[in-house]
Amino acid sequence: MPARRGLVLLLALLLLAMSAAVLASTGTGEEGVRALIRATARSSVLLLCLAFAARPLRQLWRSELSGWMLRARRSLGLGYALCQALHLAAILVVVSVHAGESDLVTWIGGGVGYVFTAAMALTSTDAWVKRLTRKRWTLLHRTGMYVNVGIMAFTFQGGVSEAAEPAPYWLALAAIALASGIRLAAWLRSRR
């Protein structure tokens, strides 16, 4: 099995195990499924930041780790898409089974994120790079990553002031700031 597919499979198994563990400990009622929504958002941000920082990190620092991250970038992106699919499935359960509240603005903002994520996942093969041309493919994937990172940053910063336990929100924002800082540093260096 190619290494890329092996990592996607491993991430899928880990995400399913995490979802089962969350539901086993918090229950399958509304609170349990909401805990799953939060858990999938938090694992998503980790995968997204790794994929977001992979290429610029390689440009700044040649090491085993940065080489691995660059090679694993597409698998990490597909892992992100899978995690976001679990986020969506849990949201649909809260709305349809538990009649939970959901607002239109979240559906529109989140929906834009999902359109990009689905387009990126569907075009993640070399065949699609050729079909779209490298320039258009990069534009789609770069824009999609920025849109998703933006939604993550916006949603997590809301939790800092609203949540009873702000620590996970600060941690997620720190991961986003670190990945964005790495991209900025690589960009500045490439201009010199």
Contact residues: ligand HEM, CB under 6 A: 34, 37-38, 41-42, 87, 91, 102, 106-107, 110-111, 113-114, 148, 151-152, 155-156, 159, 168
Gap between the Cα atoms of 35 and 40, Å rounded = 9
Gap between the Cα atoms of 72 and 54, Å rounded = 9
Select 65 or 163, whichever has its Cβ closest to ligand HEM.
Answer: 163
Smallest Cα–Cα separation from 141: which of 13, 51, 60?
51
| Residue 192: strand, helix, or coil | coil
Supply the minimum distance, in Å, between the C-beta of residue 127 and ligand HEM.
26
Select 137 or 169, whichever has its Cβ closest to ligand HEM.
Answer: 169
DSSP string, 27-38: -SSHHHHHHHHH
Select 14 or 46, whichever has its Cβ closest to ligand HEM.
Answer: 46
**Residue the block writes with tokens 């990553």:** 145
Neighbours of 79 (CB within 10 A): 26
Select 48 or 182, whichever has its Cβ closest to ligand HEM.
Answer: 48
- Whose CB is nearest to ligand HEM? 110
Supply the minimum distance, in Å, between the C-beta of residue 95 and ligand HEM.
8
Supply the minimum distance, in Å, between the C-beta of residue 143 and ligand HEM.
13
Q: Are 12 and 78 in contact (CB under 8 A)?
A: no
Supply the minimum distance, in Å, between the C-beta of residue 185 and ligand HEM.
24
The Cα diameter of the chain in Å comes to: 55
Supply the minimum distance, in Å, between the C-beta of residue 121 and ligand HEM.
13
Select 46 or 129, whichever has its Cβ closest to ligand HEM.
Answer: 46
